[in-house]
A and B are shown apart, each in its own frame.
Chain A
Amino acid sequence: MSKDRGKPGWKSIPIGGTVLEAGSSTKYKTGDWRAFRPVVDEKKCTNCLICWIYCPDAAIKRKEKHVEIDYDFCKGCGICSAECPVKAITMVEETRG
């Protein structure tokens, strides 16, 4: 409770849980759900963008020569690693601490 004390109360929030601002999901970082993180071997990556197509969370960023993972939103499903034709993405266990 204490950490939410400063948030607006029922009198001032819109009714029915409507979020009035578009694109607000970008503010909700879901990367900490991850148990395994995909790590890209930039030397092996051919920038074919198969992972970029398959990623269900749009968490693959396109760079000039290789892809990059957006760890704020990647939930660690491993689809990119499974689909990568050159095995450039390895799933590494997340550790706490």
Chain B
Amino acid sequence: MSRESDHNGGGDKRMKTRMGFTGDEALAYAAKQSNVDVVAAYPITPQTIMVELFSEYVANGEVHTNFVCVESEHSAMSACVGASLTGARVLTATSSQGLALMHEIMYIASGLRCPIIMGVANRALSAPINIHGDQSDMMGSRDCGWIQIYCENAQESYDWTLQSFKIAENPSVLLPVTVNLDGFILTHAMEGVEVFTDEEAKTYLPTSKVECRLDPSKPATVGALCLPDYYFEFKKQQDEAMKHVSPVLLKVTEEYGRLTGRKYGMLEEFETKNADVIIVCLGSTAGTVRSVAKELRSKGKKVGLLKLWLYRPFPSKEVAAAISEAKVVVVLDRALSPGAPYGALCQDIVSVMYESKTKPIVTDMVYGLGGRDITPPEITSIYEEALIAAKTGVVKEQVRFVGVRE
């Protein structure tokens, strides 16, 4: 650990602590500083280190957390639901097949309005079996009622984990959150991560104030049968809670920005103003796209990037505002939705643009499945082709697989 003063200017004079962390470790460290009451998790590559490192904190007595060793992800999520109902602050983590095994309990966590935070190391699903990064796992559980946040780097992994508790535990929200990290690319790559001191973290995130719903002095039934006469009303409540996420998230990110100098939001726009071509993506690829866009901008090419931090609830208005003036929008989907008109992210982009007065051409690029790299030259040629399409108004293919051999 090294402490260094901030020479970046601005009014922030406080000493900053910088640590060397992988994305997994950054999440575990944030969890440690979040004063988590219960962690129930099962190891799976590339999530393992999140829980492994956290279990070391527990073994060393650095946290008071009740660490529950379970026999599967299904049990992990079930234990988290029970713990969360007591008002405890709860965290778990998983990936790929593990997330798939949790799938049914994820609906229960959101349905029972449990503000659980889950680190997801995004990884391809079998078959064929593969341990590397793509976002098919989370997209497979897209509609399970969880807030979904995608990180670009290890710093974001740390920052979003802390902020997620504040969003999830807000009384108008009370929904679980997944903090998504691209498998290996983020989970296993080490970076310098600026962190709070433990005292600062404690001030930022005080003990959970979530109501205890399993209180013997106030007996109640949780998870009761709910028939056609009431089920619909509870689902409507869940959707309403989703609508509260954006304003709460903006308040949380505003406060976090004031404290740390790192300002988040629902999305990040890079050079989208007057851009002819905008690439939209989630997660770590945004870093590569930004660097390519920067280079092309320096050559006078009007290109930009829209990175979504928040994928669910989908920031429809903000996305439409960011891309509606572009001529061509290229969506990068790191997941396959077999048989669908587009990949999952592109479906959302096309949907929100339907109501827009100005409609850019939208194309979808499915890329990086099973952890295949997407390189700066590939992104450059995506931009170049789209710039031509912006002039001609014609695209060759509506959906394309980038980097697949024929």
Which A residues are closer than 8 A to B by beta carbons? 3-4, 7-10, 13, 15-25, 28
Q: Of A15, A19, A24, which contacts B237 at CB under 8 A?
A: A15
A28 / chain B contacts, CB cutoff of 8 Å: 225
Interface residue? B226 (CB, 8 A):
yes
- Residues from chain A with a CB closer than 8 A to the CB of B220 are 18-22
**Taking A4-B229, A7-B229, A7-B230 as contacts, is the C-beta distance between A16 and B236 under 8 angstroms?**
no
> Which B residues are in CB contact (< 8 Å) with A4?
228-229
- Can you name 12 A-B pairs with beta carbons within 8 Å? A3-B229, A7-B230, A10-B237, A16-B222, A16-B234, A17-B111, A17-B223, A17-B234, A18-B220, A18-B222, A19-B220, A22-B220
Query: Taking each of A4, A18, A25, which has the highest tally of chain B beta carbons within 10 Å of its own beta carbon?
Result: A18
Chain B, interface residues (CB within 8 Å), range: 20 to 34
B234 to chain A, nearest CB (A): 5
Residues on the B chain within 8 Å of A10, using CB = 233-234, 236-237, 240
A23, B114: Cα distance in complex, Å: 23
Q: Which B211-241 residues have C-beta < 8 A from chain A?
A: 213, 218-226, 228-230, 233-234, 236-237, 240-241
| Contact code string B164-175 (vs A, CB < 8 Å = 1, else 0) | 000000000010
Please name the 3 residue pairs, one residue from A and one from B, whose CB atoms are nearest each other, closest first. Answer: A22-B219, A19-B221, A16-B113
- Taking CB atoms, residues of chain B closer than 8 Å to A17 are 111-112, 222-224, 226, 230, 234
A13 touches B221 (CB 8 A): no
Question: Which of A7, A9, A18 makes the CB contact (< 8 A) with B221?
Answer: A18
- Given the complex of chains A and B, what is the CA–CA distance between A15 and B211 in angstroms? 12
- The binding surface of chain B is classed by DSSP as loop
Residue of B nearest to A12 (CB): B233
How far, in angstroms, from A15 to B221 measured CA to CA in the complex? 12
Chain B residues closer than 8 Å to A22, beta-carbon distance: 219-221
Cα A69 to Cα B224 with chains together (Å): 25
Q: Which of A8, A10, A28 has the largest number of chain B CB atoms within 10 A? A: A10
Q: Kindly state the separation between the CA atoms of A25 and B222 in the bound complex, as whole angstroms.
A: 12
How many Å lie between the Cα of A20 and that of B237 in the bound state? 17
Contact B112 A16 (CB under 8 A): yes
Cβ A18 vs Cβ B233 within 8 A: no
Residues in A neighbouring B223, C-beta threshold 8 A:
17
Q: Does A9 lie within 8 Å of B111, measured CB to CB? A: no
Would you call B113 and A13 a contact (CB within 8 A)?
Answer: no
CA distance A9 to B19 in the complex (A): 50
- Docked pose: A22 CA to B219 CA in angstroms: 5
Distance (Å) between the CB of A27 and the closest chain B CB?
A: 11
Q: Contacts A4-B229, A9-B233, A24-B221 known; A18 to B111 CB distance under 8 Å?
A: no
Q: Are A16 and B111 interface neighbours, CB within 8 A?
A: yes
Residues of B within 8 A of A18 (CB): 112, 213, 220-222, 224
Interface core residue of A4, A17, A23 (most chain B CB under 10 Å): A17
Q: How far is the CB of A24 from chain B (nearest CB, A)?
A: 6
Please give, as numbers and ranges, the residues of chain A lying within 8 Å of B237 by CB-CB distance. Answer: 10, 13, 15-16
Known: A22-B219, A24-B221. A15 touches B113 (CB 8 A): yes
Residues from 225 to 266 in B contacting A, C-beta threshold 8 Å: 225-226, 228-230, 233-234, 236-237, 240-241
User: Shortest Cβ distance from A95 into chain B, in angstroms?
Assistant: 26
With both beta carbons as reference points, the residue of chain B lying nearest to A9 in the complex is identified as B233
Cα–Cα distance between A35 and B308 once the two chains are bound (Å):
56
Q: Quick check: A13 and B219 within 8 Å, CB to CB?
A: no
Given contacts A4-B229, A7-B230, A13-B230, is CB(A19)–CB(B224) below 8 Å?
Answer: yes
Cα–Cα distance between A9 and B240 once the two chains are bound (Å): 13
Taking CB atoms, residues of chain B closer than 8 Å to A16 are 111-114, 174, 213, 222, 234, 237
- Measured in the bound complex, the distance between the Cα atoms of B221 and A45 in whole Å is 37
**Taking the nearest CB of chain B, how far is it from the CB of A9, in angstroms?**
6
B212 → chain A closest CB, angstroms: 12
Q: How far is the CA of A23 from the CA of B234 in the complex (A)?
A: 21
Cα A20 to Cα B222 with chains together (Å): 9
**Most chain A beta-carbon contacts within 10 A, residue among B112, B218, B234:** B234
